[in-house]
Amino acid sequence: WRLLAAISYQESHWNPRAVSRTGVKGMMMLTKATARAVGVTDRTNVEQSLRGGARYFLQLVEQVSPEIAPAERELFALAAYNMGPAHVEDARRLARMRGANPDVWADVEQQLPLLTKRAWHSRTRYGYARGYETASFVNRIRQYHRFLEHHDEEQNLFQIAQNATNAAALLPTRS
């Protein structure tokens, strides 16, 4: 639950009514197509959003190449959650082209910013992507996740998250 909480905090700051400029919604910021694919009918419903986001994340973990070490699969799946699995594969291709290891997150993470540069993204199958954003996304979730793991016993963070969700009703609908 801690990783799911970290993802939803990064995505919406636990605001079930959050809406991005691109139209993704809810605590897990699902697109319409992703929501439909994972059985979510109301993206702003807390339980549906969390369950749907969890289902989607697990699907992404299962899609990660078996060549990637189990300890790193979550990182690749987090990147795919943010930018899509196709762009992650493009970053892996760039790693391979540049002599880095496409199966090691630290090497692939270094390639992500190149997806914003025409000289590099023109060599990929899926083109431009906001790689800097994805690198930050993954790192922030890792930080939030570590925080939740280390502070759960001291502070009832589940209760804090619940209170934040209840308080979200007072927040504006745009994030």
pLDDT of residue 150: 83
- At residue 19, φ and ψ (nearest 5 deg) are -140, 130
> Per-residue pLDDT for 43 more than 50?
yes
The mean predicted confidence, pLDDT, of the chain is: 90
Q: 11, 74, 89, 109: which is the annotated catalytic residue? A: 11
Extract the tokens encoding 164: 């934040």
> 152: pLDDT confidence band, cut at 50, 70 and 90?
low
The yes-or-no answer on residue 67 being catalytic is no
Of 11-20, 99-108, 145-154, where does mean pLDDT reach its minimum? 145-154
**Using one digit for the tens of pLDDT, what is the confidence trace for 73-96?**
999 999 999 999 999 999 999 999
- Note if the pTM is more than 0.75: yes
- At residue 69, φ and ψ (nearest 5 deg) are -60, 140
Helix axes 131-151, 2-12, angle to 10 degrees: 130
> 175: pLDDT confidence band, cut at 50, 70 and 90?
very low
Summarize the confidence of residues 133-140 as an average pLDDT: 96
